């Protein structure tokens, strides 16, 4: 069968290749991949900056944002049912993984589908551990391909609410920095919870953001200090300087969460009083969040389904580019909205 493979650590080696046929073993469910989403992580792996192939194998099959269909009934799943699958799997020897929280793994020895030590979904068939499969409701359909980035948002929000909720706190106003897939999904999840949302990005306007009832701020003509302070700030633009500034945009007891990765070698600035005075006197917090655990996947799928029912026309525009697997380069180069690779109809 054909697969999208790459040699981690070797830039520009991503290619379509014939890989050995695959058979589900006892305890596995055979699924057929319909579609995989492409994100910055795939681009980084493809650029040779990230990723680890499975042990004793030269290549890694990409694809961690999966939508698949069950090929053979078993283990609680029925042929024809739509599913997605979690990304990170237990390291097998830490207390977090033992408590089904591999997203908080303490060793770093975890595996991740399509990223770290485990082949991904950019191939026709995958044999999967049924405990890692997540059912996608029929009503959500192909939008189930957004389950992975939504799970990232859900985990961040769950942690933000836990951290904010350590003291009396109300989440009334939120700022989302960045309007890529994560910024867009985060905006809609917060609007579902009836939070007043301001979403900021470089582009002059963004109708999709405004259709959710959020206010869009173009940072080309508006300084973020002009839109007030917030109970929650999410940085999803991948800019370390903007991450440092989030602390200064918080109200009393405010929580800032950073999700965008910025691997550049650099030093960023922060106002000394924001760190030395406001952070303390106003009980503010800045934290990072990665990955997701099963409860976040379930919440993400349920909220995507609710969002689609509330804003059907907007949700239909979330995936901007769908191309067949052999046109993967177009998807990798696409900017401004989610791109996906189609493996099967």
Which residue, 122 or 250, has its beta carbon nearer to Zn ion?
Answer: 122
Q: How far is the CB of 146 from Zn ion (least distance, A)?
A: 10
How long a stretch of residues is the chain? 345
Round to whole Å and give the CA distance between 255 and 230.
8
| Residue whose entry in the numeric block shows the structure tokens 């918080």 | 250
Q: Which residues contact 275 (CB under 8 A, 6 or more apart)?
A: 247
Site residues for Zn ion per CB under 5 A: 39, 41, 65, 91, 94, 97, 105, 107
Which residue, 91 or 285, has its beta carbon nearer to Zn ion?
Answer: 91
Q: How far is the CB of 216 from Zn ion (least distance, A)?
A: 24
DSSP calls for 235-269: E-S--HHHHHHHGGGEEEEEEEEE-S---------
Round to whole Å and give the CA distance between 237 and 91.
30
Q: How far is the CB of 108 from Zn ion (least distance, A)?
A: 8
Q: How far is the CB of 36 from Zn ion (least distance, A)?
A: 9
Which residue, 91 or 227, has its beta carbon nearer to Zn ion?
Answer: 91
Q: How far is the CB of 115 from Zn ion (least distance, A)?
A: 9
Which residue, 237 or 247, has its beta carbon nearer to Zn ion?
Answer: 237
Which residue, 154 or 231, has its beta carbon nearer to Zn ion?
Answer: 154
Q: How far is the CB of 90 from Zn ion (least distance, A)?
A: 6
| Residue 256 and residue 246 in contact, taking contact as beta carbons nearer than 8 Å | yes
| Residue 70 and residue 127 in contact, taking contact as beta carbons nearer than 8 Å | no
Q: Which residues contact 202 (CB under 8 A, 6 or more apart)?
A: 218, 219, 220
Round to whole Å and give the CA distance between 302 and 157.
15
Which residue, 39 or 236, has its beta carbon nearer to Zn ion?
Answer: 39
Q: Which tokens belong to 155?
A: 């985990």
Q: How far is the CB of 222 from Zn ion (least distance, A)?
A: 29
Which residue, 134 or 171, has its beta carbon nearer to Zn ion?
Answer: 134
Residue 96, helix vs strand vs coil: helix
Pairing of strands 60-61, 2-6: antiparallel
The end-to-end CA distance of the chain, in Å, is 16
């Amino acid at each position: 069968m054909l697969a999208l493979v790459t040699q981690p650590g070797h830039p520009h080696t991503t290619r379509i290749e014939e890989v050995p046929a695959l058979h589900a073993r006892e305890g596995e469910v055979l699924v057929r991949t319909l579609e995989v989403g492409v994100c910055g992580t795939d681009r980084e792996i493809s650029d040779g900056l990230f990723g680890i192939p499975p042990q004793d194998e030269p290549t890694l099959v990409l694809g961690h944002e999966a939508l698949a269909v069950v090929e053979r009934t078993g283990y609680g799943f029925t042929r024809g049912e739509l599913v997605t699958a979690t990304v990170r799997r237990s390291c097998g020897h830490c207390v977090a993984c033992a408590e089904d929280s591999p997203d908080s793994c303490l060793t770093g020895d975890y595996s991740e589908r399509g990223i770290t030590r485990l082949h991904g979904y950019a191939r026709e068939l995958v044999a999967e551990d049924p405990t890692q499969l997540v059912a996608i409701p029929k009503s959500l359909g192909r939008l189930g391909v957004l389950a992975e980035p939504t799970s990232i948002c859900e985990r961040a929000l769950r942690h933000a609410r836990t951290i904010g909720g350590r003291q009396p706190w109300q989440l009334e106003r939120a700022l989302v920095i960045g309007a890529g897939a994560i910024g867009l999904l985060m905006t809609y999840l917060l609007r579902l919870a009836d939070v007043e949302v301001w979403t900021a990005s470089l582009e002059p306007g963004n109708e999709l953001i405004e259709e959710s009832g959020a206010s869009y701020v173009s940072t080309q003509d508006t300084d973020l200090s002009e839109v007030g302070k917030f109970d929650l700030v999410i940085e999803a633009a991948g800019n370390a300087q903007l991450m440092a500034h989030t602390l200064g945009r918080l109200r009393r007891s405010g929580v800032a969460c950073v999700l965008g990765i910025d691997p550049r070698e650099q030093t960023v600035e922060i106002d000394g009083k924001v760190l030395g005075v406001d952070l303390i006197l106003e009980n503010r917090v800045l934290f990072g969040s990665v990955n997701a655990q099963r409860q976040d996947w379930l919440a993400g799928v349920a909220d995507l389904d609710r969002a689609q029912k509330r804003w059907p026309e907007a949700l239909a525009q979330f995936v901007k580019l769908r191309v067949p697997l052999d046109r993967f380069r177009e998807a990798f180069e696409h900017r401004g909205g989610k791109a996906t690779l189609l493996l099967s109809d």
